[in-house]
Amino acid sequence: MKKIINWIFYPPVTGQSSILIIRLVVGTAFCFQGFLKLVYINQEMGLLFKQDSPAPQITPDFIASIEIVGGAFLVLGLLTRATTLYFIVQMTILILTTKIHPHSGFSALPSTADPLVTYGPLLLHQLRGNYGQLLCCVFLMLEGPGRRSLDFKFFTTGKIYTMTGK
């Protein structure tokens, strides 16, 4: 457990400075999504939490707030690996519940009877943004925040921690 905690909170010091660009893209995208979820509650998040959520008034605001704060953390490079771990879980759940699951016929979200939309290239078209964010978060989780980050400034001890402990 200690190796995992060290791997998350002591990112590698060898990351390229250009990782900043990916952090900026992903962080601002999550910030914008969070703001849009606060403003347009009846869109995707509103549909998701109106029926099955134990706290339908609080849950969308909570998730939107985490996206705004987490996006800012990614832009600054603060707690990057912990933040991307949360976003990886969130994006996986989002893809499965709002993109894939509605097309299986077992969801309260509207679906279409058109097989091209349900199983074809138009479904891939709907997944492209979420898929891109998911892969960028996986990249940041594996590579760390890079040298131009607050993680580098605050949490670097000069050691490079890997999952193998070398």
pLDDT at 159: 53
113, 134, 109: which is closest to 45 by C-alpha? 109
Of the candidates 155, 132, 130, 131, the residue with the CA atom closest to the CA atom of residue 144:
155
Task: For 74-122, write each residue's pLDDT tens digit.
Answer: 999 999 999 999 999 988 887 777 666 554 554 444 555 544 445 555 5
What is the spatial distance between Cα 42 and Cα 49, in angstroms, rounded to a whole number? 10
What is the C-alpha radius of gyration for the chain, rounded to an integer number of angstroms? Answer: 18
Distance CA 132, CA 130 (A): 5
Tell me if 102 sits within 8 A of 110, measured CB to CB. Answer: yes
Are 152 and 14 in contact by the 8 Å Cβ rule? The answer is no
At 111-134, the pLDDT tens digits run 555 444 455 555 555 677 888 899
pTM of the model: 0.73
Local confidence band at 164 (pLDDT 50, 70, 90 cut-offs):
low
> Residue 91 and residue 83: Cα distance in Å, rounded?
12
Q: Where are the domains of the chain?
A: 2-155
Residue 100, both tokens: 């894939």
